[in-house]
Amino acid sequence: MLNRVCMLLLAIALPLPLMTGVEADEVGQDTAHRHHPLQDQLLHEEFYSSWHMPDNPALSCCNSADCYPTEIRYVDGRVYARRREDGKYILIPSQKVERNRDNPDGRNHLCAPPPSASLVDTVYCFALGGAT
């Protein structure tokens, strides 16, 4: 069921205008932050499985295949998060930022499809960590 929801979200997102992003300085550097530490895997899976889009609570943020801890940058007052597949920093739309729920570990978390699955930089959900 979740895969169908994710595919539907991709179909909806494809016609959206292209969002600009900030290229990563060095892809592949410091990749540990983008993977689930073994001790946190269950915690993350529980959080992701019950997480819904802030701007559309009827839709899931997908699952642990689409969601992961990430690094962020602030550029001109906007938040950009590093996509794990290519290291590109993508713009986080303000309506995708979780404001009604704490994240599981105080880190930044991004739910987004891989770049190969969408023609535009798509964000399903984003949780801002406390230690940014």
Is 117 strand, coil or helix? Answer: helix
Of all residues in the chain, what percent carry a pLDDT higher than 90?
45
State yes or no: pLDDT of 64 exceeds 50: yes
Report residue 124's pLDDT band, with 50, 70 and 90 as the boundaries.
very high
Look up residue 96 and give its DSSP letter.
G
pTM reported for the whole predicted model: 0.69
β-partners of residue 91 are: 80
Distances (CA, A) of 117 to 6, 78, 106, 130, 132: 10, 24, 28, 30, 28
Quick one: pLDDT at residue 83? 96
The more confident residue out of 36 and 116 is 116
Query: How is the chain split among helix, strand and coil, in percent rounded to 5?
Result: 25, 25, 50
pLDDT tens figures, 70-84: 999 999 999 999 999
Judging by DSSP bridges, how do beta strands 108-111 and 89-91 pair with one another? unpaired
pLDDT tens figures, 15-58: 443 333 444 343 444 444 445 566 667 777 888 888 999 999 99
The more confident residue out of 9 and 103 is 103
Contact at 8 Å (CB) between 6 and 61?
no
Report residue 131's pLDDT band, with 50, 70 and 90 as the boundaries.
low
Return the amino acid letter for 83.
Answer: R
